[in-house]
Structure formats: C-alpha cells, structure tokens
Chain A
Amino acid sequence: MVDVRTVAPAPVDARVRRARRRTTRTAWVLRLVAIGYVLALVALPVASVVQHTFADGLGPVWEVLTSDDFLAALRLTAVVAGIATLLNTVFGVGMGVLLVRYRFWGRRFVSAVIDLPVSISPIVVGVALILVYGTYGWFGGALEDAGFRVIFSVPGMVLATVLVSLPLVLREVVPTLEEAGIEQEQAAQSLGASAWQRFWRVTLPTIRWALAYGVALSLARSLGEFGAVRVVSGSVAGESQTLTLYVNDSYQEFGPDAQRQAFAAAFVLMAIAVALIVVIAALRPQEERS
C-alpha cells in the first residue's frame, strides 16, 4: 500500500475516486440481471436447437438438408423473401423521398397507414388478403379468370411477406433523408444534374448505409415470416412450403425423422438470421460514422 502511494505521482482523495468511479454496485447488479435475462430468453433456446439438431451427428442433418422437400422450401423462401425485399426496397426509397421532400395533402395519413400492416397480427394480414384476392374475394375471381392465381400460390405469399415488412426500409431511410436536407441536391441541380442524376449521384449515396440496414432488416423479417404466409400458402410440401412452414409442419408430425427435419431447418433459419445480424452490426458503425 505504501509502495503504491509513493509510485502514484499525486494521490487523489478517496472521495474523489469514489465519485469518479463509474461502475457502482448498482451497475453490477443491473448487468447481472440483464445478462441472466438474455441468457434465459435467447441463448438457452438457441443452444438447445443446436444441440437437438446435431444430437445424432452430421449425417442425418446432411440427409435432411439435401432432401427434395427441404431444398424446395429453401428455394421458395429465397424467391419469396428476395422479391418481397426488392419490392420493399424500391417502395421504401421512393416513398421515403416522397414523404421527406414533398408536402402533399394526406401525407401524414399515408405515413401512418404504411405502419399498419406491421402493427396488426400477420394472421389477420393473411385472412385479409384471402378476403380480397381469394377465389370468392373482391378481385380473386376476376384474376383467376384471367389465369392469374394469387392465393395458394407464390404471388400471394410474396404479397403477404411484403405487407408484414412494408415499412422496414422506409423507416430507416426517412431519418437519414431528413438529416441530409435538400441542399446537396440543390447544389447538384445548380451544377447541372438532372433529377435522375441527382438521385443516383447524391441521394442514393447519402442514404446507402441506412438503406443497407433497412434491406437487411427487411430480409430477416421476410425469411422468418410464418403467420401471414401460412394463411395464404396452403403449405403443400415441395410446392408452397417455405422454410418456416417446413419447420412447423415437420415438427407437428410424429416420429424422430420428422423432428430431425424440423430441427435441421430451424438451424438453417437461425444461421441465416445470425449472418444477417452480423451484417447489420457491421453496418451500424458505418452509418454512425457517415
């Protein structure tokens, strides 16, 4: 103790040190509670899925992952989530520019309505879609006569997925557009840039990180969508079954094979989600820096 004092250049008063100390006992307790809560809620279930998946080694898992039904579900999920995310990206950027740059009648109403589909239960979204596009719905009959099937088909699943992730890109893009203001675009305009050139050369680069973040969020949400897609898909194995439906249907079947299928597919969904979270986490600091 005496040694420490002689080494320290200017001893600081104990009261000062206590006041400066940032980690109090309360902070330690709060940290433990937070960590315990996250462990119980997230880490344990995730770990148990991993454990069940690989309980019998890699062989059976590989068998599931190369089965026709699983591959069909994976492909369908990729198609549905891909198209939905693409649509939401175009919609999100276009609508974002519209909402931020222009003042028009009904602007706030439109902005509120866009948030509606994510606020109501996905099941309700699915049912509502059937009421509109189903065989006996408002447009369904007419569309089917024209040879275009929406419900129990890919378009319906895309539509359901688009709805449940509708504002995710938009809500990321809007604050960035608002913060950037309109002066950069006006400067580009006075330098001779047309509307299209201003969008590609100024607006899009300005929102790129927010956009990437929104796309990653939207993709994660689309891949994981279950309720609305369940209602409108019919969930026929190999045909209209996405990965989440595949997990659900397998899990509800009896027998160890079906269980294994469910866990393997659940593991794949989780792995994709983790990959997306890593991407999102990597994008966050970029966004804050720019």
Chain B
Amino acid sequence: MNQSAGHSGSAEAQSGIVVRGVHRSFGDFVALEDIDLEVKPGGLTALLGPSGGGKSTLLRIIAGLDYPDRGAVEIGGRDATFLPPQRRSVGFVFQHYAAFKHLTTARNVAFGLEIRKRPRAEVHDRVAELLELVHLEQFADRLPSQLSGGQRQRMALARALAVQPEVLLLDEPFGALDAKVRKELRDWLRRLHDEVHVTTLFVTHDQEEALEVADEIVVISQGRIEQVGSPAQLYDHPANEFVMSFLGPVTRLGGVLVRPHDIEVLTDERAGAVQVEVTKLLRVGYEVRAETRAQDGSTPWVQLTRAQVAELDLAEGATVWLRPLVATPFPAGSPRAPEPVPA
C-alpha cells in the first residue's frame, strides 16, 4: 500500500522538520520562546502540552499559516521560513476538518490534484486509492454535511495526503470527536502511518493519545520545550515535575512525586514507608482509588485493583504504610537520594 499510495518508502530520503530559535509573541504574550526542535524523518511525533502552551502556534508556523518573529524553519533540508503555505509541500489537517462544504468527498480529496492540473484519469485513480486507504470508498459522492465527524476527519486526512506532502501536520485532529471515535481514529492513524511513512507531527493536549500513538513526544508548556523523548522515556524518566504530572496521574508521598500505581501498600511498618490512614475507597471502573491522610497532613492516593483491596482487607479508617515501588527521578525535597537515570 505504501508504494501504491506513492509515499516515500525506505528507498527515498525522507523529509524531517528543523526548527531553529523560533520566537513568536502576540503583544505581551509570548507564545513561543526561542524554540529549537528537530522532528525526525518518517516518524510520528506528538506535540503535547496544555492549552495555550504554544504547540498549535508552532504547528501553524511550520505550515506557513503564521510566521515567527525570528528564527528559521527547514522542511526536508530546505529553508521554508518565508515560503507561503502553498509552496511548502505540507499537508495540514484542522481540528474542525475544514472540509470544502460544497464539494463531495471525492472532489475534496481531488482538490490538491486538480489545482496541480493532473490528468483526469490520474486524479480519478489516486482519489479512489486514497478513499480506500481511509475506508470512505462508499462515501465518495456524499457531501461533508452527510458524513460523521470521524468520517470528515478521515476525508481531510486523505485530502492532505493526496498531494504527497513531505510532512503531514495535524492540529488536534481528534479534538472535536467523541471519546469512542477518538480512540478508534487513534489506532487507525497509527496503522495508517505504518503504511504511509510520511513525517507526521500532530498536536494534542491528551497525554493518553500522545503515549498511545506517537514514536516521539515533544512536551511544550508556556512557549518552551520541556522534554523530548519516546513515550516510555518520558513516562519513566520525566525531566521535571511538570512533565511527570502532565503525562500521567501523580500523587505526593512523603514530599516525593510518585505515580499512584507505583505505590506499595503495607500492613506493617517497614523502612521508608509512610504511615497513613485510609479516608476513602473509591471504585472507578476496574480500579480502586484509596485516598489516605498522612500524619504530616498530606493526602496521597493509591491506585489499586479490586483483588489487591480484597487481599489487603482494606477498609476506610484502616491504618497502613505506603512505600514508593520505583525510584523517583528527581528529588523535589525528598530525604531519599535520587537514583541515577539509566540511559
């Protein structure tokens, strides 16, 4: 499929994105503060961060929909800083689809090819191929208003891929969809990228989405890059408290930030354990959250399974001891010395 879809396979050199010293402010608000970033060719990279953190601004600057105050953008080794969007070879997918409402699904996908004045037969074949790729072949003659949100976004993706862009940029692509469809499209995007190895950069504020889909995650907050790495690196070895708390649930135990599922519950006192009283047991689906109160007034919580709760014979009001299962990468005022982070 990757060959027939016409995208650079392993044979061709793939285009990466290089961002150098990009700065963008809107009045007093600094959206991006001297950002340096290299997006590796052929990968699926997530720009992850809270709303207003600057990730969408960065994506729009790479697409040419906005321009930096200073700094440079390179796409596929060429300087693109001042190129208009139509000359960047960039596919852009918007959160709200930006479907051409007056055109059918097939004509939407064909748009970029028609602009390039490709022969009619070639356009027809390529559109058919792409519609198959995004599983919309039976919807070719529908108008966008007759498609569901998920279908519209798949159409938008096919439309962006039709012109064989060097890089594909997605701005919160699943943000407007309901939870179930979002999850489906996530898996689908992952599989699609395995077929069509185009360098892809997508913006999301959903850490689960980034962890599940991306090869590499760039965490951005307040206009700065906090950390770049693989999902496992970021989750296990976050560079700072912000990254750790943004990537998953955290709780504070004895002054140290830990993941609530990385806490051991003991029924007797042992070295390094903190004595707490269980204040509440909360069932959430398959997990049980045990909220506790320590003697220093802090309220750590633990994520447990129902089996664990039964085994420990845990009840509200019980006194137990909590101990972190894994070493915390940074001390944050903890009495325990941090262990060296393995490379």
Contacts and interface: CB of A to CB of B under 8 A. Distances in A.
Nearest to A191: B112
Contacts of A197: 115
A222 to B, nearest CB: 28
A66 interface: no
A201 B342 CA distance: 56
Contact of A206 (B64, B87, B101, B160): B101
Given A183-B96, A187-B100, 13 more contacts: A186-B92, A186-B94, A188-B111, A189-B86, A190-B86, A190-B88, A190-B92, A190-B160, A191-B112, A191-B115, A191-B159, A191-B160, A192-B116
Interface residues of B, number: 28
B91 interface: yes
Nearest to A208: B102
A207 to B, nearest CB: 10
A191 B102 contact: no
A190 B111 contact: no
Given A206-B101, A206-B102, A290-B101, A187 B86 contact: no
The residue in B91, B101, B163 that gathers the most chain A C-beta atoms within 10 A of its C-beta is: B101
Contact of A194 (B86, B91, B160): B86
What are the nearest 6 A-B pairs in CB distance?
Answer: A191-B112, A183-B98, A187-B98, A190-B92, A205-B102, A189-B85
A49 B86 CA distance: 59
A252 interface: no
B147 interface: no
Interface of B: 63-65, 84-88, 90-92, 94, 96, 98-103, 111-112, 115-116, 156, 159-160, 162-163
Interface string A235-266: 00000000000000000000000000000000
Given A183-B96, A201-B111, A190 B91 contact: yes
A192 B163 contact: yes
A189 B112 CA distance: 9
A189 to B, nearest CB: 5
A290 B100 CA distance: 12
Contacts of A190: 63-65, 85-86, 88, 90-92, 160
Contacts of A290: 101-102
Nearest to A197: B115
The residue in A188, A191, A194, A206 that gathers the most chain B C-beta atoms within 10 A of its C-beta is: A191
Contacts, number: 67
Interface of A: 180, 183-184, 186-194, 197, 201-202, 205-206, 208, 290
B298 to A, nearest CB: 47
B100 A186 contact: no
Contacts of B90: 190
B101 A184 contact: yes
A98 B84 CA distance: 20
A217 B146 CA distance: 31
B62 to A, nearest CB: 11
The residue in A183, A187, A208 that gathers the most chain B C-beta atoms within 10 A of its C-beta is: A187
B98 A186 contact: yes
Contacts of B101: 180, 184, 206, 290
29 contacts: A183-B98, A186-B92, A186-B94, A186-B98, A187-B98, A187-B100, A187-B156, A187-B159, A188-B100, A188-B111, A188-B115, A189-B65, A190-B64, A190-B88, A190-B90, A191-B86, A191-B162, A192-B86, A192-B87, A192-B163, A193-B86, A193-B111, A193-B115, A194-B86, A201-B111, A205-B100, A205-B102, A206-B102, A290-B101
Nearest to B143: A290
A191 B159 CA distance: 8
A184 B99 CA distance: 6
Given A197-B115, A201-B111, A189 B98 contact: no
A193 B96 CA distance: 20
Nearest to B116: A192
Nearest to B156: A187
A188 B102 CA distance: 13
Contacts of A184: 98-101
Contacts of A208: 102
Nearest to B63: A190
A183 B85 CA distance: 13
Given A194-B86, A206-B102, A187 B115 contact: no
Contacts of B91: 190-191
B165 to A, nearest CB: 8
A201 B115 CA distance: 10
Contacts of B112: 191-192
B100 A202 contact: yes
B138 to A, nearest CB: 23
Contacts of B115: 188, 191-193, 197, 201
A101 to B, nearest CB: 14
A201 B65 CA distance: 19
Contacts of A206: 101-102
A191 B92 CA distance: 8
Contacts of B163: 191-192
A205 B94 CA distance: 20
